[in-house]
Amino acid sequence: MASPSRPPGRPRSSVDAEVFAATLRTVHELGYTRATVDRIAAAAGIAKTTIYRRWPSKGALVTACLVDAFGPLPLAGRDREEDLAAAVRFGARRIAEPGVAAAFAGVFTDAIGDPGLREILSTQLQDPYRQVLTEVLGLSEQRVLFFIDVVIGTLLHRMGMTGEPMVESDVDALIQMLQRELR
């Protein structure tokens, strides 16, 4: 049996939540580039070396932060249209949270020329939603990936161009457009 007993030595202090919060806060205030690991560590009240003991790079830290910030997709709709609408609104709310869009753009930029980071991004962040949505919406995986591209891409492009989240009426239009694709 694999022993589930704790390994010897000083245990890791449970500061992941503080680090994630400090990361989003710093990225929100300064942007991805100027959100240095030094500043994030200071904002979290820990040493920079502690961060590098847990995440191999700034990009991996921010990706983990995004995974934590998005969390599981709450789906309790009565039909596919309701679930789709809930998923879009979920994405819109998350991307509107301070720092999330900036973190996303930064990770995309870093992921170019860093296949490992892109792999993490695709596997850790996108795949869970792809799986759930494939099941709930009853669509092919290709179709679900297309939907994710449309939803997240549209919301991020609006944030990148204007610096403001998409207004609710446009989110409604996005939902309607995709719901028509279900029929």
Give contact residues for DNA (rule: CB under 7 A): 5-13, 15, 34-38, 45-50, 52-54, 56-59
The alpha carbon of 147 is separated from its chain's Cα centroid by a whole number of angstroms, namely: 16
What minimum distance in Å lies between the beta carbon of 67 and DNA?
Answer: 17
Closer residue to DNA, CB minimum distance, 64 or 139:
64
The SS3 assignment for 146 reads helix
47 vs 113: CA distance, rounded Å: 28
User: Tokens 């029929």 belong to which residue?
Assistant: 183
What minimum distance in Å lies between the beta carbon of 40 and DNA?
Answer: 8
What minimum distance in Å lies between the beta carbon of 4 and a copy of itself?
Answer: 35
User: Treating both helix axes as pointing N-terminal to C-terminal, what angle do 80-96 and 100-111 enclose, rounded to 10 degrees?
Assistant: 90
What minimum distance in Å lies between the beta carbon of 99 and DNA?
Answer: 15
Closer residue to a copy of itself, CB minimum distance, 55 or 147:
147
Closer residue to DNA, CB minimum distance, 30 or 136:
30
Closer residue to DNA, CB minimum distance, 46 or 96:
46
